[in-house]
A and B are shown apart, each in its own frame.
Chain A
C-alpha cells in the first residue's frame, strides 16, 4: 500500500477516524493492528520477519535490564544486534557478498531469489537503536510488548523512516492523545507538501531520467540533464515521502522527526548530510561515529570515523558496488572538509556562493553513482559527460513534452512555498486549494501513462 495511492488515503482516513473514536487506553492496539495490516498489504508472509525482530529486541531489552553483570548485558546486546544485522545480511547482502567472494576465487555466483522485506533496513535500525539505548541505560526497557511492537511497526514511518528514537516516539504512542485542531491543520499541510513534491516534481522527472539511464550510450548533455533531474527527483521523492509520513502521524496526534531541511542549500558536504536524511545521519552519528571516537581523539581518528560512517551509509543504501563507492566518495569529501576545517559561511557574499558551488557540483556528480545500475555504466556515463555534446540529441533523448518540462520547472519554483507549508507557516486557503488541484491533475497525468510509481527509498 504505497503512500501515493487512493488506497492509502482511504486507509489513513479510516485510521484517523477510528483513532478519534477509540478510548485512549486501547489506541495502541488499534494502531498496532492497523500497522500490521498496512505491512501485510505489502507482503503477508514477510510480516513474520518484523514480528520476529520485535519479539527478539523486546526480549533482549528486558533481559539486559534484568542482567546483573556487564558481561551478560553485553551478551544480550551482541545477540540482538547480530540477529538484526544477520537478517539484513541474509535478505539484502547475501547475494552481493557471495558474488564478491566467489568472484575473488575466480568462480561465478548464481544469485539466490531472496525477497527483501520492505522497510527492513529502517525497522532493524530503529530496533537496534532501542537495544543500544537500553544497554547504555539512557532509557528503561519497555515492559509492554504491545507498546514496543507499535513503536517498531508504527505505519507512517515503517517502510522508509524517519528512523525514530524510543525516547521521542514511544511516550507519544503510550499517551495516545487526540489530535487537536492545530495537529490536523499541520498534518494536512504536510500531506499537501509531501504529495506535491512526489507527484508534481519527482514523478514528472522520473521517466526522463529512466530513459537516459536505459540508453546504451547517451549524449553527455543528456547525462548532465538526467543528473540534474535525478537530483530533484530523489530529493522530492524522499522528502515527499517523509512529509507524508510526518503528516499522517500528525493527524493521529503524533509528531515524528523531520528528515530533510533544504539540503541543496548546504555550503559543505557535511552540512548537506546534516540536512539530508537527518534521521539516518543522526543514527550513524550516535551509534557509529561517536563510539569510534568522533572528534574527541584527534584529527586522524575523526577522519577515519567519518570515512567509516559514510562507507557504511553507502552500503546501507543497497547491495551494490555503486552504493559503496557513492558512500566512499562522500566520506572522502567529508574527510577533506575535516582536514581543511571547512565550515558554512553565515555572512552574505561571493565566498558563500563559491562554497555552495564547491558543494553542489560534487554532490550532483555523485548521484551518477547512486543512480547507475553498475560501476561499468557509471564509468561509461562519466566519460560521456566529459566528451563532445550534441545538446539537441540530448534533449530529444529526455523525451519531455513542452507541458511536462514547463510543469516540472513550475513545480520546482514552489519549493520555497512547500518549505513554508511544512514549517506550518501562514499560507492562504486559495493557495492550498490550487496546490491540491495540481496534485490531483498530476496524479491523473501519471495514471494516464506518464510519470513513475513507487518511492525510490522503498527499495532500501
Chain B
C-alpha cells in the first residue's frame, strides 16, 4: 500500500513538474513540488537510503527547466 503510494507520488512529482515547466504554470509546478515533498517524507518513513532519494531528486531540476528548451545552456 505504502509502496504503491510512493510510486504514485513519484510519478505525479515528475509529471506535474515537467508539465508545470513546459506550460509555464505556477500552480502545476508547485503541485509537483508538493508531491515531491510528500514522496520524500514517505521515503524517510520507509527508511530508504539517502542515495535513492537523491537519484530521484536529481531528475527534477532538469525537468523544471523545460521552459528553457531550445535555449543555449
Contact = CB atoms under 8 A, between A and B. Distances in A.
Interface of A: 200, 401, 403-404, 406-407, 410-411, 413-414, 416-417, 419-420, 426-428, 430-431, 433-435, 437-438, 441-442, 444-445, 448, 450
B61 A444 contact: no
Output the residue of B54, B62, B67 with the most chain A CB within 10 A: B54
A405 B59 CA distance: 14
B61 A417 contact: yes
3 residue pairs, one from A and one from B, having the closest CB atoms: A416-B73, A403-B51, A445-B50
B60 interface: yes
A430 B54 contact: no
Nearest to B67: A428
Contact of B58 (A410, A420, A430, A448): A410
Given A403-B55, A441-B53, A428 B73 contact: no
Given A413-B62, A420-B73, A450-B51, A437 B17 contact: no
A430 B17 contact: yes
Contacts of B36: 434, 437
B65 A200 contact: no
Contacts, number: 78
Interface in B28-56: 29-30, 32-33, 36, 40, 49-55
B64 interface: yes
B45 to A, nearest CB: 15
A434 B50 contact: no
A428 B21 contact: yes
Contact of B57 (A401, A437, A450): A437
- Interface size class on chain B is 20 to 34
B73 A434 contact: no
A403 B52 contact: yes
B19 to A, nearest CB: 12
Contacts of B51: 401, 403-404, 407, 445, 450
A414 B51 CA distance: 17
Majority secondary structure of chain A interface residues (helix, strand, loop or mixed): helix
Majority secondary structure of chain B interface residues (helix, strand, loop or mixed): helix
A406 B55 contact: yes
A433 B50 contact: no
Given A403-B55, A428-B21, A435 B61 contact: yes
Given A419-B73, A430-B29, A433-B33, A438 B50 contact: no
Nearest to A435: B61
B33 A438 contact: no
Output the residue of B40, B49, B64 with the most chain A CB within 10 A: B64
Given A407-B55, A434-B64, A441-B53, 19 more contacts: A403-B51, A403-B54, A403-B55, A407-B51, A410-B58, A410-B59, A417-B65, A426-B68, A430-B21, A430-B29, A433-B33, A437-B40, A438-B54, A438-B57, A438-B58, A441-B57, A444-B50, A445-B51, A448-B50
Given A445-B51, A448-B50, A450-B51, A434 B29 contact: no
A441 B59 contact: no
A445 B53 CA distance: 10
Contacts of B49: 403, 445, 448
Contacts of B29: 428, 430
Nearest to B29: A430
A406 B40 CA distance: 18
Given A407-B51, A434-B64, A417 B73 contact: yes
A441 B43 CA distance: 12
A406 B54 CA distance: 9
Contacts of B58: 200, 407, 410-411, 414, 438
A442 B54 contact: yes
B26 to A, nearest CB: 9
Contacts of B50: 441-442, 444-445, 448, 450
Contact of A414 (B21, B32, B33, B61): B61
A406 B59 CA distance: 10
Contact of B64 (A406, A430, A441, A448): A430
B1 to A, nearest CB: 24
A416 to B, nearest CB: 4
Output the residue of A410, A414, A416 with the most chain B CB within 10 A: A410
18 contacts: A403-B52, A403-B55, A407-B51, A407-B58, A410-B55, A410-B59, A414-B62, A428-B67, A430-B17, A430-B20, A430-B30, A430-B64, A434-B60, A434-B64, A437-B57, A438-B54, A438-B57, A442-B54
